[in-house]
Amino acid sequence: MSWTRKHLLDIESLSAHEITTILDTARAFKAVGERAIKKVPALRGKTVINLFVEPSTRTRISFELAAQRLTADIVNFSAEASSLKKGETLKDTARNLEALNADIIIIRHSASGAPHFLSRFLKASVVNAGDGAHEHPTQALLDTFTVLEKKGKVAGLNVTILGDILYSRVARSNIWALTKLGANVTLCGPSTLVPKIFEKMGCRVTHNLEEAIANADVINLLRIQHERQRRSMFPSLGEYTSLFGLTKARMQKTKPDVLIMHPGPINRGVEIDSDIADSSHSVILEQVTNGLAVRMAVLFLVNGGKGPQEVAA
């Protein structure tokens, strides 16, 4: 079966086969990125718009580079300097961008469901670059790609996601991707941020950090999403770190080959000790590198590519 979707809105609706098709296509594009000439003409003549209505460093820049590597024209929309500030709606903004012949609109927005909303009336492909606390599909894809590259498999691995799960779109997309591919996913953090209801997504919930990290093959750390919390979910950052921060002492109790991941931005000394973020266990910067290949794959596929077999060897 080859890729048939016009949009990438979430991981929840994807099959394991579709996730694998994206990851296989990303692997082919990663090989392209290791050549002397890193550009391919797959999206020549196409226009891609980065419609980011929330701040971003990694996602926006890697989508921009991905589009350039595919020879597309890419335009970065600046929300602060746009007519959104004059009261123009998201719908009108997107329709005006489409009137400028956009083929793919990549959207990051604070409202959950914003990409799904655009996909209902746009002819252009829509790619979700993070919507509220709902999903961040390309982050989960690059995380899964990195786990596969480092561990050789996903099925059967013990993956612990540690931190602010409740407000994290990265957590939700990772849970869907990892469980669909057969990993054992454990969620850990304060009970206010990791409610038991997440067990309905097919993962285990614990509030015991020592237990959550002892058998983990992968620990994916999440920052506290202060921007989405309407009230404080724990007494202080210091207390959070003392109870749930990955410190050097706690690291001693993990498996010797544990992978440490983080989607970024990291808050050094809060959810992760600075030395651990920079240690040989950490693949945080490799995640960023892999994001480029994953986003090339996503743009290629939503534009009509069928799979890795179409990426020139």
Q: Footprint of ligand CP on this chain (CB under 6 A)?
A: 56-59, 130, 136, 139, 263-265
Q: Which is nearer to ligand CP, 57 or 101 (CB)?
A: 57
**Whole-number minimum distance, CB 219 to ligand CP, in Å?**
16
Task: Using the minimum distance from each CB to ligand CP, give the nearer residue, 141 or 148.
Answer: 141
- Residues 230, 232, 238, 243: is their CA dihedral positive or negative? negative
Q: Which is nearer to ligand CP, 264 or 269 (CB)?
A: 264
| In the complex, least distance from residue 102 CB atom to ligand CP, rounded to whole angstroms | 20
d(CA 313, CA 149): 19
CB of 121 to ligand CP, least distance (A): 26
Closer residue to ligand CP, CB minimum distance, 28 or 165: 165
Nearer to ligand CP, 141 or 212 (CB): 141
Q: Within 10 A of 207 (CB to CB), how many other CB atoms are there? A: 17
Task: Give me the least distance between CB of 139 and ligand CP, in Å please.
Answer: 5
Task: Report which secondary-structure segment, H or E, holds 311.
Answer: none
Nearer to ligand CP, 98 or 136 (CB): 136
CB of 17 to ligand CP, least distance (A): 26
Sign of CA dihedral 225, 226, 231, 234: positive
Give the shortest CB-261-to-ligand CP separation in angstroms: 11
Q: Rounded to an integer, what distance in angstroms lies between the CA atom of residue 153 and that of residue 275?
A: 27
CB under 8 Å to 153, separation ≥6 — which residues?
Answer: none
* C-alpha distance across the termini of the chain, in Å: 20
Q: Are 63 and 295 in contact (CB under 8 A)?
A: yes
Q: Give the number of other CB atoms < 10 A from CB of residue 209.
A: 18
